[in-house]
Amino acid sequence: MSRYVTRYGIRAVATLYVGLLVGVPVGSVFFRALRPGLDSFWSQITTPPAVHALVLTLEVGALAVALNTAFGLAAALILARHRFPGAALVEALIDLPLSISPVVAGLALLLCYSSTQGLLGPFLSRHGIEVLFSFPSIVMACAFVSLPYVVREVQPVLIELGTDQEQAAETLGAGPFAIFWRITLPSIRWALAYGVLLTTARVLGEFGAVAVVSGSILDKTQTLTLYVDSEFTNFNSAGAYAGALLIAVISMAVLAALSVSQSRERQVL
């Protein structure tokens, strides 16, 4: 009897916790965004600033995710397969974005690339490159905060995988490219996909670092999260809810795409 109480008690507590912390607030965003009706929602997300913010977010997201996927894969391969001096430092630097606040990350970029007092800013400025308050700085901020995910997902899988299969492929006549495409990549593809997913979610939701480096210039450097924030502070709560819902929907679509492809290609591993 008490066993059932315990079991259902734990379930109830867990459900309540997740529900109150995540379910109800996210649900209320859906509710508030859609309460005025789909037409109203649609008109809120098709205003020029909203569309611009959406396009910018997708562009920034695509570039930052692509950069961190390529870098993450390379870093994971190098760190998992080679011992070299300075490896520990690289490991620590990769983890750094997890431990420092995005606002601090933004400030760090600001200090480095400021055209008047930055470390690299004045040099770039003299060559006509303005990093801050423009597209590059937003990509850099997003890439900065989402740097660890691909590496941290892929590296342990590579270590666990070992090099036996790659060596076997080599004895069977496969060159480096064939080994990578046919053996290494398929073996780590779910870890990689999960890393990409986490990176994407992180980039779409990034606020702090982007807020600092972009200047949140309307129709220019305003991403979706910044748009939601500015609508909210400008007392356009309908626009803010609509934007928030849009972010949530995009994130969930990415998650759904992954789980669908994963279940369709179920592997026995």
**Which residues contribute to the site for other proteins (CB under 8 A)?**
164-165, 167-175, 178, 182-183, 186-187, 267-269
Closer by beta carbon to other proteins, 171 or else 233: 171
The least CB distance from residue 265 to other proteins, in Å, is: 10
Contact by Cβ (8 Å): 192, 153: yes
- Residue 169: CB minimum distance to other proteins, A: 7
Residue 193, CA distances (Å) to 4, 19, 69, 167, 269 in order: 39, 27, 9, 25, 16
3-state secondary structure of 207: coil
Would you say 37 or 173 has its CB closer to other proteins? 173
Q: Do 53 and 222 form a contact (C-beta atoms < 8 A)? A: yes
Least gap, CB of 164 to other proteins (angstroms): 4
The whole-angstrom separation of Cα 227 and Cα 216 is 8
DSSP structural state of residue 235:
T
Count CA atoms closer than 13 A to 259's CA, side-chain side.
5
- Nearest distance from C-beta of residue 171 to other proteins, angstroms: 4
* Of 91, 77, 207, 189, nearest in space to 147 by CA: 91
Taking the complex as a whole, the smallest distance from the CB of residue 58 to other proteins amounts, in Å, to 32
In the complex, minimum distance from the CB of residue 257 to other proteins, in angstroms, rounded to a whole number: 21
Which tokens belong to 44?
């809120």
Nearer to other proteins, 160 or 219 (CB): 160
Instruction: Give least dist CB 71 to other proteins, A.
Output: 24
For other proteins, the closer of residues 36 and 156 by Cβ is: 156
Sequence letter at residue 34: L
The residue among 138 and 157 lying less far from other proteins, judged by its C-beta, is 157
At residue 4, the 3 state secondary structure works out as helix
Which of 44, 184 has the CB closer to other proteins? 184
Nearest to 137 by CA among 228, 201, 202, 210: 210
Instruction: Look up residue 259 and give its two tokens.
Output: 């789980």
Of the pair 139, 183, the CB lying nearest other proteins is at 183
